[in-house]
Amino acid sequence: MARARSHPLELAGRTVEITNPDKLYFPAAGLTKLDVALYYVAVGPAALRGIAGRPIVLKRYVDGADQPAFYQKRAPDKRPDWIETVTLAFPSGRTAEEVVVRDLAQLVWIVNLGCIDLHPHPVRASDLEHPDELRIDLDPGPGVPWGAVCEVALQVNAVLGERGLLGWPKTSGSRGIHIWVRVAQSWGFAELRRAALAVAREVERRVPALATSKWWKEERHGVFLDYNQNAKDRTTAAAWSVRPTPDARVSMPLEWSQVAGCDPAAYTLRTVPALLAEHGDPHAGIDDAVGDLGGLLELAAADEAAGLGDAPWPPQFAKQPSEPSRVQPSRARKPRVARPEAAEGAAAEDRGASAEAPARKRRPAAPTGRRKSSQPLIVVAQSVDAAEAAAGLARWKARHPAAAALLAVDDVLTDSMRGWSSTWTRIRINLRHVPEAERPPPEPPDPDNPPDLSYDPKMRPSS
């Protein structure tokens, strides 16, 4: 039987064609491109609450959720005249005309482009420099149990409440929890990020065994509160977004009373429309709960007065005046320590001793410029395909079973790296728990196929 070439949907007074509607988007779940579009039709008013009037980054899975996506900030040149856009400026100095969604027809139109999850900016198109949404992103490290994530979320809620703010929790659709806070458009992105950093540090103080505000992965444990999601040009998945998991999991809005006992796997493209129809939208009141960042900024000021300065920014941002070094701790230069023989010679001179001081060792002519790592990190795989990188890690463990058996869960560092328009995966291993004499020597990464990151003006990078 021939596949349908398109499927029309009548939405908001317009016809939106779903091209290749039978294309399999979630092979394990048996869900098609049309299934994704119809899901967003079913949850439309609720989904629009989180994205309406905001510029949105198009994260396109043109070959389905199990294949790599690419990011597209610029609106397609060929688009209906009823697609609204707004021009954003980025930290790099470039600009882009991004899509602004306001109704269900516009939403389903971007879904037809291959957008499975929705990535709006925390600003309204009417005021691009003053965000109205504080985003607390809880990112658990490897092996962290779901219960720990929920406990950290509850601690975040307590901190927000003490500072006069109301948080709105949702599952991330993966392993974490997001907590969104509507705030008055009275502050810029610098203040928004500063407030998020204050939350992260306060929660870390309250539950230090569970939470961390450390930017570098090698320093983290437990649940990372990603304050940098509040820097300008950062986006995260909106409420009701379908995520690219094999079971088509959804970023599900919750009541606070549901957080401790919820199961993220229960919220999928197949189950969520019925839950919404039966129970309504837990975030229905979010736009009426606009708060003041002043309380969190007071907390930030107290941290700064106590000696806690800024924390590292994302790499695409200019170095900030009060920002610490952006060199990861394992590669930072160590302070130069006086050599014992030099100190002994100096002491002899001070005593006026006639005996000849010990001969000093000749110093190198010049520094090499290389940093000596304090952590034994090795790169074992890097690829545009996350599954290939994971397979490379498995091969490394098979080649070195004795070393692999000594690794802690957080000794395997999986980094999602950003290219011009897509992400790629790098996997590193920290051999700190492997005795030095038993550590496998460095090997070429397997696989070793990251994207070409050289700049090509013809490619029109997204930022």
Q: Which two tokens stand for residue 376?
A: 């034994």
Output the average pLDDT for the chain: 87
388 found inside a domain? yes
Mean pLDDT of 296-307: 95
- pLDDT the model gives residue 93: 81
Dihedral angle, C-alpha 171, 172, 177, 180, nearest 10 ° = -90
Residue type, 409: V
Residue 111: pLDDT band by 50, 70, 90 thresholds? very high
Residues listed for the chain: 463
362 part of a folded domain: no
User: Domain of 384?
Assistant: 377-450
Q: Does 250 fall in a domain?
A: no
pLDDT of residue 460: 38
More confident residue, 8 or 318: 8
| pLDDT value at 270 more than 60 | yes
What average pLDDT score do residues 34-42 get?
98
Q: Structural domain tally of the chain?
A: 1
90 inside domain: no
Q: How distant is the alpha carbon of residue 351 from its chain centre?
A: 60
- 40, 69 contact by CB (below 8 A): no
Determine the average pLDDT of the residues in 326-338: 66
Rounded mean pLDDT of 47-59?
Answer: 97
**CB-based contact 59:71 (threshold 8 Å):** yes
- Does the pTM surpass 0.85? The reply is no
349 pLDDT above the threshold of 80: no
* Residue predicted with more confidence, 327 or 59: 59
What are phi and psi for residue 267, nearest 5 degrees?
A: -110, 100
Q: Are the C-beta atoms of 212 and 225 separated by less than 8 Å?
A: yes
Residue 454: exposure state from Cβ atoms within 10 A (0-12, 13-18, ≥19)? exposed
Structural domain includes residue 39: no
Task: For residue 151, give the amino acid letter.
Answer: E
Note if the bond before 76 is cis, omega within 30 degrees.
Answer: no
pLDDT digits (tens, 9 = 90+) for 133-157: 999 999 999 889 999 999 999 999 9
The fraction of the chain above a pLDDT of 70, given in percent, is: 86
b/e string for 11-39 if b means 16 or more Cβ within 10 A? Answer: beeeebebebbebbbbeebebbbbbbbbb
pLDDT band at 352 (very low <50, low <70, confident <90, very high): very low
- Distance from the first to the final alpha carbon of the chain: 44
To 5 degrees, how large is the angle CA 172–CA 19–CA 67?
45
Question: Is 395 a domain residue?
Answer: yes
Q: Which amino acid is at 268?
A: T
Q: What is the spatial distance between Cα 45 and Cα 101, in angstroms, rounded to a whole number?
A: 12
Residue 191 has pLDDT above 90, yes or no: yes
Lowest mean pLDDT among 185-194, 263-272, 291-300, 424-433: 424-433
Q: Has residue 295 been placed in a domain?
A: no
Per-residue model confidence (pLDDT) at position 335: 59
- Which tops the pLDDT comparison, 86 or 4? 86
- Asked if residue 66 has pLDDT above 70, the reply is yes
Q: Is the pLDDT of residue 200 over 80?
A: yes
pLDDT at 92: 77
pLDDT at 333: 64
Would residue 5 count as lying in a domain? no
pLDDT of res. 3: 65
Segment 201-255, tens digit of pLDDT: 999 999 999 999 998 888 888 999 999 999 999 999 999 999 999 999 999 999 9
Task: Return the higher-pLDDT residue of 337 and 28.
Answer: 28
Confidence of residue 463 (pLDDT cuts 50, 70, 90): very low
Does residue 365 register a pLDDT over 50?
no
- Listed range (20-24, 149-153, 350-354, 445-449) with the worst mean pLDDT: 350-354
